[in-house]
Amino acid sequence: MTEFWLISAPGEKTCQQTWDKLMAATTRTNILSTNHKFSIPDLKVGTLDVLVGLSDELAKLDSFVESVVKKVAQYMADVLEDSRDKVQENLLANGVDLVTYITRFQWDMAKYPIKQSLKNISEIISKQVTQIDNDLKARASAYNNLKGNLQNLERKNAGSLLTRSLADIVKKENFVLDSEYLITMLVVVPKVSYGDWEKTYETLAEMVVPRSSNLLFEDSDSGLFSVTLFRKAIDDFKHKARENKFTVRDFQYNEEEMKADKEEMTRLSTDKKKQFGPLVRWLKVNFSEAFIAWIHIKALRVFVESVLRYGLPVNFQAMLLQPNKKTMKKLREVLNDLYKHLDSSAAAIIDSAMDIPGLNLSQQEYYPYVYYKIDCNLLDFKV
């Protein structure tokens, strides 16, 4: 499971005792979760007013940063297109997988100096992640435009003979060119109608050149035939062809245009390849930055909430639980029993919620202990 519960409880005589109690309750008789100590440095507490305000700000910042982390991860999956199995190995934090990073979390003193106030640290994170979000929008827009233009051109060169570009199918020698009177037209004929075409094409209009039809290309359903006629018979020929379920393609042989199309496709394809490597590198680096920032916000929230709930001096143990999926409900009950003495009103809320079917507390999950969820499953699909 990639879900973690980051909780805190007040230190007993020592914080180690708090830890030992949790371990005994969750692992002694039945392993309900895998637990790790979550180390938070000695941050500056500041005033109570500031802490209360900061608690709300950090909640909003947490949601914002999580959304940016998910956007970068999802865009990485979009960019890697054909190798989505490689996405997970590119989603690292500080060079290690996400579970390892969270379970061995160490505060980054260089990025987020603890001599700064809590508000300053949260502002540093906010600026940093806003910048990543803005850069992602700009880079994604440029790359998506390029990819979209290339796909449009590729679509033009694929599909059925009724719609696809014919530039890469026909050759100069298939056409009568530079004639004042004659023109070569291209007609799509269903395979089942080849016999009808051969019998009738010379009589579809008065001025069709006899034996001028050649099969130039076939796909699974149809064939592309050339036919030469006098220019004055074009409208009549088109009309009769339509009646016979033959489709005349509007196509004029223009070497310059065809060359320009091919060059454009080559240019876009080359540009896409050139941008791909640097873009993936940028996504890897900035995913790591955003994810690290996100876990630091979780640490800030645990610190602020623990001081607000458990009071001063600062004395609490932060703990990271990785619940086993089958025993999540049981784990919740064990934690409630262990910590209900901290806040009787929270225990009452939980008890009544358990008795009322359909009451969903997930919107404002509140427990007698400080609790935040960290879900590392950041993608909309399973890799």
Under 8 Å between Cβ of 160 and 221 = yes
Its sign, for the CA torsion 34, 39, 378, 278, is negative
Is the pLDDT confidence value at 366 over 90?
no
Class level of CATH domain 172-252: alpha beta
Strands 222-230 and 370-375: unpaired
pLDDT recorded at residue 361: 43
pLDDT value, residue 355: 46
In angstroms, the CA 22 to CA 323 distance is 13
pLDDT digits (tens, 9 = 90+) for 18-57: 999 999 999 987 899 999 999 999 999 989 899 999 999 9
Long-range own/partner contacts, residues 134-141 (CB < 8 A, 24 or more apart): 135/282, 135/286, 136/68, 136/71, 136/72, 136/75, 136/286, 139/279, 139/282, 140/75
The closest of 133, 123, 113 to 64, measured between CA atoms, is: 133
Q: Give the residue extent of every domain in the chain.
A: 3-150+269-375, 172-252
Q: What fold, for 3-150+269-375?
A: subunit c (vma5p) of the yeast v-atpase, domain 2 (1.20.1460)
Same fold, 3-150+269-375 and 172-252: no
Bridge partners (DSSP) listed for residue 375: 3
Helices (H), the chain: 15-27, 48-80, 87-90, 98-103, 118-156, 194-200, 234-243, 255-310, 328-339, 344-355
Sign of the dihedral through C-alpha 118, 305, 93, 128: negative
Q: What is the pLDDT of residues 258-308, one digit of tens each?
A: 888 888 889 999 999 999 999 999 999 999 999 999 999 999 999 999 999
More confident residue, 350 or 259: 259
184 and 226 Cβ atoms separated by less than 8 Å: yes
144 pLDDT higher than 60: yes
Does 380 have pLDDT greater than 80?
no
Question: Using 50, 70 and 90 to split pLDDT, how confident is the model at 211?
Answer: very high
The larger pLDDT score, comparing residue 253 to residue 36, is at 36
Percent of the chain with pLDDT over 90: 76
* Total residue count of the chain as it appears in this document: 383
Collapse the DSSP code of 168 into the 3-class scheme (helix H, G, I; strand E, B; otherwise coil) and give the result.
Answer: coil
User: 87-130 pLDDT, tens per residue?
Assistant: 888 999 999 999 999 999 999 999 999 999 999 999 999 999 99
Burial (CB count within 10 angstroms: exposed 0-12, middle 13-18, buried 19+), residue 217? middle
Q: How far apart are CA 364 and CA 233, in angstroms?
A: 77
Condensed to tens digits (0 to 9), the pLDDT of residues 49-81 reads 999 999 999 999 999 999 999 999 999 999 998
Beta strands 222-230 and 214-218 are antiparallel
Measuring CA to CA, how many Å separate 106 from each of 71, 93, 121, 192?
Answer: 25, 12, 16, 72
Q: Which residues pair with 371 in a beta bridge?
A: 7
168 C-beta neighbours (distance < 10 Å), count: 13
